[in-house]
Amino acid sequence: MQIPAIFFDGEHARDNQVTLRLEANDLVFSGPDVSETRWSVAGLHPIDPPTAGQPFRITHDGKVGARLVIRDQAFIDELVRRNKDLKGGYSWKHVRDVAVWTVGGLAALGVIGYVVMSLLPQQVAYVLPEEWRNRVGNQVVRSLVDNKQACTSAAGQAAISKMLSVLANGNPDMPPVSVAIYDLKLVNAFAAPGGKIVFTSGILKEAAGPDEIAGVLAHEIGHVAYRHPEAQMVRLAGLQVLISVFTGTGGGDLTTNLAALAALLRYSRDAERQADAYARKTMVAASVDPTGLRRFFEKLLKIEGSKPAADQAAAKPSTLDRIGNVFSTHPGTEDRIKQIEPLPAGMTPVQILTPEEWKALQNICGT
Ligand SMILES: [Zn+2]
């Protein structure tokens, strides 16, 4: 039996007239523009189930996209008699092909995801879900402070809340943050994903007054506003971040590995400049004198020069000790100091904390 049919090769939109015949276990066809082709009957499957009076469309293993359109009912019946799978409309082979295509699609999504994650970490940082930011932020903080409990004296917490509300004055778009203080000698402060800002008790002891700490806090809020911690996470972990977003799992290696944590906390000079500019704008709007921050940086620079490895010499250095102080995690200090200017002429700096409140903040860890 030899019948006319139409063949699409799956690559060109053009239809081709072919002649079709059954030969042993093969379907054989050829036409003016189609060289002789053999499709095994066992490898055929239907695109739709055969319907009486409708042209029957079939394809073949490994020829995804290529198809034959057959109108001859007797021929269709004979094909279905020889290959029962053709009756169903779906066969396991079809399912397998769909699976292959789906996996291929997922792989393509993975490639797109990879490109997005590697070229646009800053943009990705802005669309990460809150739930992820909080979950991973908590993990990062826990790892950095070796699961220590935050210091929670009521007076100390009231003081940090007051400092935040002073900074929020004139800054209605300040992002929500939470500030936790940990009993660590090291002089440092950092921001983790989810607006989680950490101060060590060491940095509170080192500061001469609340204006110095308010400046550091404003700088860290700048990192939060620009989502620098999240962007750094995307930059370092790439697709792992997406996987953890969708699977609800943690940051994995990134939040438990010392080198990765150190890299996570170390921003580019551009990011530091952005956070500094944010801090300046915020402080001026809130009438907080930015020279406190400058004084503090200058002092830290001197300390850094005189006893660089003091903290690392501790008997049992904490994770944060091993990562380093505020200079290791906020590079480019000297040129940054020069950028910090006092309040514009005529502005009176606000009192951030009373002397008692400042004392309470410095002693929040009870020592
Ligand atoms: Zn910084």
Asked if residue 139 and residue 59 are part of one domain, the reply reads no
Residue 96 lies in a domain: no
**pLDDT score at 256:** 66
Burial of 292: CB neighbours in 10 Å, binned 0-12, 13-18, 19+ = buried
Rounded average pLDDT over 4-14: 82
* Residue 213: per-residue pLDDT: 95
Asked whether residue 99 is assigned to any structural domain, the reply reads no
Per-residue pLDDT tens over the stretch 25-70: 899 999 998 999 999 998 887 777 777 777 788 888 767 678 888 9
Residue 195 domain-assigned? yes
* pLDDT in the model for residue 334: 75
How far is ligand 1, taken at its centre, from the CA of residue 190, in Å?
7
CA of 221 from ligand 1 middle (Å) equals 9
> Is 290 in the same domain as 354?
yes
Q: Pick 344 or 256 by higher pLDDT.
A: 344
CA distances, 121 to each of 55, 75, 235, 270, 350 (Å): 51, 58, 6, 14, 37
Reduced to 3 states, what is the DSSP secondary structure of residue 103?
helix
**What mean pLDDT value characterizes the chain?**
83
323-340 burial, b at 16+ Cβ within 10 Å, e below that, comes to bbbbbebbebeeebbeeb
Rounded distance from Cα 112 to ligand 1 centre (Å): 31
Determine, yes or no, domain membership for 315.
yes
**In terms of domains, do 77 and 130 share one?**
no
Band of pLDDT at residue 159, cut at 50, 70 and 90: very high
CATH number for the domain harbouring residue 46: 2.30.29.30
**Which residue, of 70, 91, 112, is where some domain finishes?**
91
Task: Provide mean pLDDT across the span 338-356.
Answer: 89
Mean local confidence (pLDDT), 215-223: 95
Owning domain of residue 154:
121-362
pLDDT for the residue 194 = 93
Q: Which of 107-116, 143-152, 332-341 has the highest mean pLDDT?
A: 143-152
State the maximum Cα–Cα separation within the chain, in Å, rounded to a whole number. 103
Query: What is the arithmetic mean of pLDDT over 137-151?
Result: 88
Question: Rounded to the nearest whole angstrom, what is the distance from the C-alpha of residue 342 to the centroid of ligand 1?
Answer: 19
Whole-angstrom distance, CA of residue 167 vs CA of residue 223: 15
Same domain, 291 and 146: yes
Residues 71 and 164 in one domain: no
Task: Quote the ligand 1 centre to 269 CA distance (angstroms).
Answer: 9
Note whether 245 and 321 are same-domain residues: yes
**Distance from the alpha carbon of residue 76 to the mean position of ligand 1, in angstroms:** 73
Distance 141 CA to ligand 1 centre (A): 16
CA distances from 128 to 169, 220, 263 (A): 28, 19, 20
**Residue 252 CB partners (closer than 8 Å, separation 6+):** 237, 240, 244
For residues 173, 175, 180, 184, the Cα torsion angle rounded to the nearest 10 degrees is -100
Residue 163 has pLDDT above 60, yes or no: yes
How far CA 12 is from CA of 1, 8, 48, in Å, comes to 28, 7, 21
Give yes or no: residues 152 and 58 share one domain.
Answer: no
The token duo for 62 is 């490994």
Q: Which residue has the tokens 């090769």?
A: 9
* pLDDT tens, position by position, 122-136: 877 887 888 888 888
Q: How many C-beta atoms surround the C-beta of residue 302 within 10 A?
A: 9
Instruction: Give the C-alpha separation, 351 to 292, whole Å.
Output: 12
Ligand 1 centroid to Cα of residue 330, in Å, is: 4
Shared-domain flag, residues 281 and 186: yes
Query: What pLDDT is recorded for position 84?
Result: 81
CA distances from 53 to 71, 74, 144 (A): 8, 11, 72
User: Considering 91, 106, 140, which residue would you say is the last residue of a domain?
Assistant: 91
Same domain membership, residue 161 and residue 251: yes
Question: Is residue 104 included in any domain, yes or no?
Answer: no
Q: What pLDDT is recorded for position 110?
A: 75
253 has pLDDT over 70: no
Q: Measured in angstroms, how far is the CA atom of residue 287 from the centroid of ligand 1?
A: 21
pLDDT score of 223:
94
Q: Are residues 215 and 280 both part of a single domain?
A: yes
**Cα separations in angstroms, 184 against 14, 88, 331:** 74, 69, 21
Q: How far is the CA of 253 from the centre of ligand 1 (A)?
A: 23
Contact by Cβ (8 Å): 7, 57: no
Question: What is the pLDDT, as a whole number, of residue 310?
Answer: 45
Find the 341 Cα to ligand 1 centroid distance in Å.
17
Percent pLDDT > 90 in the chain is 34
What does the pLDDT read at residue 27?
92
CB atoms inside a 10 Å sphere around CB 357: 19
Q: Clarify whether residues 178 and 136 are in a common domain.
A: yes
CA 93 to chain centre: 38
Distance between Cα 223 and ligand 1 center (Å): 7
The reply to whether 100 falls in a domain is no
Q: Count Cβ neighbours within 10 Å for each residue of 242-256 and write b for 16 or more, e otherwise.
A: bebbeeeebbbebbe
Residue 153 Cα to ligand 1 midpoint, Å, equals 27
Q: From the CA of 248, how far away is ligand 1's center (Å)?
A: 29
CA of 41 to the centre of ligand 1 (A): 68
Percent of the chain predicted with pLDDT > 70: 82
| Range 327-349 average pLDDT | 78
> Can you tell me the distance from the alpha carbon of 291 to that of 209, in angstroms, rounded to the nearest whole number?
12
pLDDT greater than 90 at residue 20: yes
* Interatomic CA distance for residues 59 and 124, integer angstroms: 41
pTM for the whole structure: 0.67
Residues 145, 262, single domain; the answer is yes
Tell me the torsion sign for CA atoms 300, 302, 304, 309: negative
Name which of 161, 164, 216 is nearest 190 in CA terms: 216
> What integer pLDDT is reported at residue 37 of this predicted model?
92
Q: Is the pLDDT of residue 243 over 50?
A: yes
Taking the centre of ligand 1 as the mean of its atom positions, its distance from the CA of residue 331, in whole angstroms, is 8
367 in a structural domain: no
pLDDT digits (tens, 9 = 90+) for 80-108: 888 887 876 555 566 666 677 777 777 77
CA distance 216 to 360: 18
Q: How far is the CA of 146 from the centre of ligand 1 (A)?
A: 22
Domain final position from 45, 76, 91: 91
Question: In whole angstroms, what is the distance from residue 10 CA to residue 315 CA?
Answer: 71
Identify the pLDDT of residue 95: 64
* 341 φψ region: left (φ > 0), alpha (ψ -120 to 50), beta (else): beta
Q: How confident is the model at residue 218 (pLDDT cuts 50, 70, 90)?
A: very high
Count how many domains the chain has: 2
**Which tens digit of pLDDT belongs to each residue from 274-330?**
998 999 999 999 999 999 888 888 887 776 655 444 444 555 677 777 776 666 666
Residue 109 lies in a domain: no
pLDDT digits (tens, 9 = 90+) for 185-217: 888 899 999 999 999 999 999 999 999 999 999
